Amino acid sequence: MYALRLYMAFAKVRFMTQLEYRGEYFVRTLSKIIAWSTGFIMVMVLLTRFQAVGGWTVYEVLFLYALNMLTHSLAGTFFMNSFENLPRNIRQGVFDGVLTKPVSPLFYYVCTNVSAGYTSNYVIGVSVLVVCFAKLSIPVTLLNIVWLIAVILGGCLIQAAGFILTNVPAFWILKSESLMTLFFDDVKSFLQYPITIYAVGIQVLVTFVLPYAFISFYPAQYFLGREDALFHPLFQYLTLPVGALLYFVAVKVWNIGINRYNSTGS
């Protein structure tokens, strides 16, 4: 309860201050809308011309895209500002303050870096999902809705673990920004299209090594009634456990990083 109330206090402050500069908030929202809609626009341009990619039609691909974007934005609300800037905060010594507070370092660090900039993304992500449900005639049953929420939750946990794990090396390496670019941003771009269009090695990579495929590709199989995945059809149901496991590992590694910081400083 103490933690929740403290979080609410922090979040309120972060949101209030970010809304204070209204001109800037407007530009930020606009630029985020444009940056994310371009992805949707390009998918639509391509699939209007070519009808399908790897057997997936335009709304099926958009469904993939929306799942990734929505979970990225939800997790990013908490983990983007904090972890994208972790290497810099460590280098500049800002991180020292995190360790002198009477709350858990992860909790404090995330709380003081909550972002208010994703609201437009939630709207776009949810709208595209709704359009896809309608266009693809996915039945809107209670089960499907509960399952969608579970899948989004699992996806958020995978994304959060991605934010954490690709930036925690900053505790060991001075400049680790490129790790996040490669192992989070670049590798995740495999997910914009069905992974079946890539070589088997890549499908193994995004399923077992960096299991981002559980964010969108495998859960989409369930909703689209597809069974074109390379591996066992059971994988469609594994998003939540995979997410929970990854997040657990991420927190463990974060704690190891904190101990390392404890012995070396910045």
Judged by the rule CB under 8 A, the positions of this chain that interact with other proteins are 2, 5-6, 9-10, 13, 16-18, 20-21, 23-24, 27-28, 30-32, 34-35, 37-38, 41-42, 45-46, 48-54, 92-94, 96-97, 99-105, 108, 173-175, 177-179, 181-182, 185-187, 189-190, 192-193, 197-199, 202, 259, 262-265
Give the separation between CA 266 and CA 262, rounded to whole angstroms: 9
Q: Which long-range contacts (CB under 8 A, 24 or more apart) does 93-102 make?
A: 93/266, 95/261, 95/266, 96/266, 99/258, 99/261, 99/262
CB of 225 to other proteins, least distance (A): 21
Nearer to other proteins, 160 or 188 (CB): 188
Say if CB 171 and CB 257 are below 8 A apart: yes
Give the separation between CA 226 and CA 15, rounded to whole angstroms: 41
Nearer to other proteins, 122 or 177 (CB): 177
CB of 258 to other proteins, least distance (A): 9
Say if CB 164 and CB 82 are below 8 A apart: no
Give the separation between CA 84 and CA 88, rounded to whole angstroms: 8
CB of 16 to other proteins, least distance (A): 7
CB of 217 to other proteins, least distance (A): 14
CB of 143 to other proteins, least distance (A): 32
Instruction: Work out the end-to-end distance of the chain between its first and last CA atoms, rounded to an integer number of angstroms.
Output: 33
Nearer to other proteins, 137 or 263 (CB): 263
Nearer to other proteins, 8 or 130 (CB): 8
Structure tokens at 14: 């972060």
